[in-house]
Amino acid sequence: MTPRALIRLRARNGRGRAATPLRERLIEIGLLACGALSVLVTAGILLVLAFETFSFFGRVSLAEFFGDTRWTPLFADKHVGIWPLVAGTLLTSAIAIAVALPFGLLAAIYLSELASPRARRILKPTLELLAGVPTIVYGTFALVFVTPLLQRVVPDLAGFNALSPGIVMGFMIMPMISSLAEDALYAVPGSLREASYALGSSKLPTIFRVVLPSATSGIAAAVTLAISRAIGETMVVTIAAGQQPNLTLDPRVPIETMTAYIVSISKGDTPTGTLEYQTIFAVGSMLFLMTFAMNAISHRMARRLRHGAGQA
C-alpha cells in the first residue's frame, strides 16, 4: 500500500471525514487567508492614511514637519513641527512601561511560581479586570484622583501632566504583561523545574535561571504588545495629559500626545479637506511608522533571544 492510501485508510477509521491532501491544502490556504487578513488591514490603513498624508505634504514640506519644534496647526500662526507630539507620546509611554514591566513580570512570576493554585485562580482573573475598565474611566480617574494625590508628593505638578496618565496607563496594561507572561511561565514543563531542584537549586535561582529563560519568547511577545498598546492609547492621555503640545521631557507639565491630538481634531469643528484636517492623517502616519520601526526592532531582538536560548 502506498503511504497516501495508508493515511486515507487510517483517517477513515477515525472520526470525521476523509483527510484528503486536497482538503488539507484547502485548510492551509484558508488559514493563510486569515493570516493574510492582517496584511490587508495594514494595507487598508496605509491607503486611508497615505492619500491624505500625501496631500498634506504637498502643502507642508518635510523640513517643516521634522524641523520645526512647535506644533500649532490650528493657530493663525501655523507651525507644524511634529516633535512636541512625539515627545508627549514617548514620555507617557515610557512612564507606562516603567510601571507595567516590573509590576507585570513580578506579578507573572508570583502567579505562576509562588501562588497556590487557588490564589492563582482568583488573582489572575481579578488582575485581568484591570484591562477591562474602559479607558475613559481610567482617564477621569487619573485626572480627578491620581493627579491631586500626586500633587501632594511631587512639587509643581500641573493639573494636566504626563506622570499621572503614565502611571495609570502602566497599571492598565500591566495585566497584558502579567497574563501573557504568566501563561508562558506556567507552560514551562514541570520536569525542567524538578530537574533544577534535583540539582540542588532552590526556588529563586530556579525561577531566574531555568523558568524565565524558557519563557522568553512569551514574555517578549507580551512586552511588545504592551509597548504598542501604550503608544496607541488614546482616551487616558486625552483626558489627563492635556492639550498643549510641549517639547519637553518633564513629566510634570501639560503635554499633548499624537493620539490625543487626532481625537480632538476628529471630534471637533474642523472642516474636512483642509490642511488642519489633514494633519490627523500626517500624525497618524507618523504614529504608524514609529510603532512599525519599534516592532521590527523588537521582532529581530526576540528572534535572536529565542535562538540564543536554544529554542527555535
Partner 1 sequence: MRAPGPAQRRRRRTGERLFFLLCLASVLVPLAMLATLIGDVVLDGAGRLSWEFLRGTPSRRASAAGIWPALIGSLTLIGLTALLAVPVGVAAAVYLEEYGRRSRMAGIIEVNIANLAGVPSIIYGLLGLEVFVRLFGMGSTVVAGACTLALLVLPVVIMASREALRTAPDALREGAVALGATRWQAIRQVVLPLALPGILTGAILAVARALGETAPLIVVGAVVFITFTPDLGSQYTALPIQIFNWVSMPQKAFLDNAAAAIVVLLVVLLLLSSTAIFLRNKYQARL
Partner 2 sequence: MKILTLVIALAALAAACSKKGGGEEGGATIQIDGSSTVFPVTQAVAEEFQKDRGGRVTVGVSGTGGGFKKLCRGEIAIAGASRPIKESETSQCKSAGVELIELPVAYDGIAVVVHPDSDWVDHMTVEELKKVWSPEAQGSITRWSQVRAGWPDRDLHLFGPGVDSGTYDYFTQAIVGVEHSSRGDFTSSEDDNVLVQGVSTDPAALGFFGYAYYVENQDRLKLVPIDDGVADNGAGPVAPSLESVEKGTYQPLSRPVFIYVSAAALERPEVRSFVDYYLTEGAELAQEVGYIPLPAAAYELARKRVADRRTGSSFRGSEVGVSIEELLKN
Alpha-carbon distance 283 to 103, whole Å? 31
Interaction mask 248-277, partner 1, x per CB under 8 A: ----------xx--xx--xx----------
> Stretches 35-43, 57-65, 157-165, 177-185: which one binds partner 2 (CB under 8 A)?
157-165
Q: In the range 219-248, which residues lie near partner 2 by CB under 8 A?
A: 238-239, 242-244
Residue among 191, 168, 35 at smallest CA distance from 103: 168
Residue 273 interacting entry, from partner 1, partner 2, none, C-beta within 5 to 8 Å by type: partner 2
> Stretches 10-18, 56-64, 70-78, 152-160: which one binds partner 1 (CB under 8 A)?
10-18
Query: What does the chain come to in residues?
Result: 312
> Stretches 75-83, 124-132, 178-186, 302-310: which one binds partner 2 (CB under 8 A)?
75-83
One residue of 123, 154, 275, 305 binding partner 1 per CB under 8 A: 123
Cell of 39: 496584511
Between 275 and 294, whose beta carbon lies closer to partner 2?
275
One residue of 127, 211, 212, 286 binding partner 1 per CB under 8 A: 127
Q: In the range 209-248, which residues lie near partner 1 by CB under 8 A?
A: 217-218, 221-222, 224-225, 227-229, 231-235
One residue of 159, 189, 205, 308 binding partner 2 per CB under 8 A: 159
At 124, give phi and psi (nearest 5°).
-60, -50
Residues 6+ apart with CB under 8 A from 251: 91, 95, 161, 162, 163, 166
Query: Rule CB under 8 A: which residues touch partner 2?
Result: 30, 72, 74-77, 143-144, 158-160, 238-239, 242-244, 254, 264-274, 276-277
